Amino acid sequence: MLYSRHQSKRNLYLILPLVLGLATVLVSCGESKVSQCNKLIGEINQGQTVYQKSADAMKNIGGFNPTKPEEMKAQITKIKDSLEAFVGDLRKVNQGIKALALEDKKLKELQNNYSTQLEVMSVGFEDSSKAISSLGTINFTAPDAVKQVESSTKGIAESIQKVSKAGQESSLVVGEINTYCDGK
């Protein structure tokens, strides 16, 4: 009897550190890099879906005809509404990206970079919407109509430039994410 108690104690001393060590490893391990990559890429893909939906909606909007101001104003309103809906959807995607609790430092950095570019694009599209909207307020028979059109088109061009640059930057970030995640 004495032998078995002593043997049990010795086994306990050997097994206890192993069990505690294994428990520590299991508790300290969060989500895998693969899982975190999949979450981030999934949210980014939501943005692509939103973009495609908006692009499809814009295809159905016709061109401007300055000789028919009411038709032109209706087209401008459609474009403005489509851009505003797109910005709202883009911001929802960005919220989803920001809400991801990523533990991997590099992924967290890439997540923040991508989120920043989405916000820049959102602001650019908002600016485009405002500039396009201003076209609808122009009286084309007024003497200063040309200056107003030039001002509006300048605003549109600047916002498109902002969106284009942010789009290029976000594409680079997506490339970095893909490269990092492929190195699983």
Helix (H, G, I), strand (E, B) or coil at 68: coil
pTM of this structure: 0.75
Tokens 């970079």 correspond to what residue?
Answer: 113
**From CA 110, how far away is CA 132, in angstroms rounded?**
33
Contacts of 153 (CB under 8 A, 6+ apart): 131
**From CA 120, how far away is CA 88, in angstroms rounded?**
13
Confidence of residue 145 (pLDDT cuts 50, 70, 90): confident
Q: What is the pLDDT of residues 66-93, one digit of tens each?
A: 677 777 788 888 888 888 999 999 999 9
**From CA 78, how far away is CA 67, in angstroms rounded?**
18
Q: What is the pLDDT of residues 150-173, one digit of tens each?
A: 888 898 899 889 988 998 999 999
Classify the C-alpha dihedral 183-105-114-51 as positive or negative: positive
